[in-house]
Chain A
């Protein structure tokens, strides 16, 4: 059974139920039930028309739920003749769900969960596992999110920037469970890029492709981090790099620069360098300048300071870092790195150890501890 194919039709099946008169929350629940059923029976008994099967089962589930409900409140349902699937309309349905699930009234975590279920076609169990929370907790988070957007009209386009933020969050959640959320985010971004004509959607697609391309080189088999400069570039996925660069170039040519395109440009310059030494740091600094101009983000300034350290030497990098808030995440790690480059190993070792204490992930903490340990060992001679 092709699970990706099954997941891809989920938003269009929700769309069919909504057009038949179901409200979004009930339609989404019914389709989730049908999806779980499909995962159970399809491996032994695959349907001839998966989409029609899902529509039929989801609709039956929906009617059962309504009947169970009618003692409390009566509903009039307009059941039309089953219309033939219209490709254009299905794209619109899917797009509407992207906007709804990333609605600004939702917290980021709720938007992520709802997007993964209604647009991504993942089961509650899969989403819960990916987030390391109990299934019941995730089920509650999703039904709460649906109540939050209950009054939102499905036929109004929303702000594409909110959708991009959610997709980027999904991408960054990585791959802790049995579902690869990074790959899922790429799939959803591809689909969005096919439906919306927007340079920043392409920018995000390029960014996630370029980052994903480096994934095989980013961690050792034991899970420890490999810094960019030490990565085996032969492990980078050249097909994804080529696609990411092509998508980015097409986006940049439209002259509607945004933060995702600027970040993708930095990633593309890294991907371009055959060795770490060949990295075009001067251009990377220029892209960080753009990014700072576009977002004003302190994180972008911090990354810029590190790039300045590579382009103009560690002293210049430290000078750029000096103007930034020391409380910024990774500020201490960046300072440690620049001091190490500058040859001040004692200061670097002390700062690496300090940075390890405030690291927010286990691999990052372990990486920083190892750097500190290595320098301390060298200092002991």
Chain B
């Protein structure tokens, strides 16, 4: 089994095939999209492959330490940030092929006109925990 992080991007991914911003969809199309995502997660729960998933706010803050005893320094959000993650799903699957398969299902979520978005998703394998035999 291998765990993969599936990243949806607000920005930074190549353009989707059905590339219409969500605020131009009809409310029914938005509902259908949300339902599709929920069904996808439910299906993966049923197959014992779903670990977790969350959506992220668009607004974020950069933060760094400024030395002991000082408050953290913050900056941003930067409007020009090229890469912006919208949400993530963590899956635990048998193979890389299976990870691609479920990611492709998610990418086919319906968008404008009820047609699949075919958006690009980023698939990142997690570094696994130590195996017993690593010598």
Q: Is A225 a contact of B49 with CB atoms below 8 Å? A: no
Bound together, the chains give a CA A141 to CA B60 distance in angstroms of 36
User: Given contacts A137-B45, A140-B47, is CB(A132)–CB(B129) below 8 Å?
Assistant: yes
Interface check A301, CB cutoff 8 A? no
Q: Across the interface, which residues of B come within 8 angstroms of A158, CB to CB?
A: none
Name B67-86 residues within 8 Å CB distance of A. Answer: none
Is A342 an interface residue, CB under 8 A from the partner? no
Contact between chains at A172 and B132 (CB < 8 Å): yes
Q: Is A174 an interface residue (CB 8 A)?
A: yes
CB pair A138 B94 closer than 8 Å: no
Q: Which B residues lie within 8 Å of A362 (CB)?
A: 127, 129-130
Q: Which residue of B lies closest to A137 (CB)?
A: B48
Find B130's partner among A132, A136, A174 (CB 8 Å cutoff): A174
- How would residues 337 to 381 of chain A score, 1 for a CB under 8 Å from any chain B CB and 0 otherwise? 000000000000000000000011111110000000000000000
Q: How far is the CA of A197 from the CA of B132 in the complex (A)?
A: 27
Q: How far is the CA of A110 from the CA of B48 in the complex (A)?
A: 9
Q: Are B130 and A133 in contact (CB under 8 A)?
A: no
Question: Could you say which of B48, B129, B130, B135 contacts A138, with CB atoms under 8 Å apart?
Answer: B48
B134 within 8 A of A: yes
B63 at the interface (CB under 8 A from A): no
Q: Mark A198-214, 1 if CB is under 8 A from B, else 0.
A: 00000000000001101
Contact A176 B129, beta carbon cutoff 8 Å: yes
CA distance A359 to B127 in the complex (A): 8
Please report the C-alpha to C-alpha distance between residue A109 and residue B129 in the assembled complex, in whole angstroms.
Answer: 16
Asked whether A117 is an interface residue with its Cβ less than 8 Å from the other chain, the reply is: no
C-alpha spacing A305/B28, complex, angstroms: 61
B52 at the interface (CB under 8 A from A): yes
B45: A residues at CB distance < 8 A: 136-137, 140
Closest Cβ neighbor of A231 among chain B residues: B135
Q: Contact between B134 and A364 (Cβ–Cβ < 8 Å)?
A: yes
A281 CB–B CB distance under 8 Å: no
Q: CA of A109 to CA of B92 in the docked complex: distance in angstroms?
A: 10
A208: nearest chain-B partner, CB-CB: B132
Is residue A187 within 8 Å, beta carbon to beta carbon, of the partner chain? no
Give, as a whole number of angstroms, the nearest-CB distance from A342 to chain B: 21
The answer on a CB contact under 8 Å between A109 and B1 is: yes
Say whether B48 contacts A140, CB under 8 Å: yes
Instruction: Kindly list chain B residues whose C-beta atoms are within 8 Å of the C-beta of A138.
Output: 48
A189 to chain B, nearest CB (A): 13
Kindly list chain B residues whose C-beta atoms are within 8 Å of the C-beta of A92. Answer: none
Closest approach, in angstroms, between the C-beta of B85 and any C-beta of chain A? 21
Whether the Cβ atoms of B132 and A361 lie closer than 8 Å is no
Are B92 and A211 touching (Cβ within 8 A)? no
Q: Do A363 and B130 contact each other (CB < 8 Å), given the known contacts A133-B92, A140-B48, A141-B48?
A: yes
Measured CA separation A131–B125 after assembly (Å): 16
* A361-B131 in contact given A109-B1, A140-B47 (Cβ < 8 Å): yes
- A residues in contact with B3, CB < 8 Å: 132
Q: Give the docked Cα–Cα distance between A364 and B131 (Å).
A: 10
**B133 contacts A211, C-beta separation under 8 Å:** yes
Which residues 263-284 of A have a CB within 8 angstroms of B? none
A141 to B122: give the CA distance in the assembly, Å: 25
Determine whether B57 belongs to the interface, using a CB cutoff of 8 Å to chain A.
no
Given contacts A109-B1, A172-B133, 12 further A-B contacts (CB under 8 A): A107-B94, A109-B94, A132-B3, A133-B92, A134-B52, A137-B48, A137-B51, A138-B48, A140-B46, A215-B132, A361-B131, A361-B134
23 contacts between A and B (CB under 8 A): A109-B94, A133-B51, A134-B51, A134-B52, A137-B49, A137-B92, A140-B48, A141-B47, A141-B49, A144-B46, A144-B47, A144-B48, A172-B133, A173-B132, A174-B129, A175-B132, A176-B129, A214-B135, A219-B130, A225-B130, A359-B127, A361-B130, A361-B134
Q: What 6 pairs across the A-B complex have the smallest Cβ distances?
A: A141-B48, A140-B48, A109-B1, A174-B132, A176-B129, A228-B135
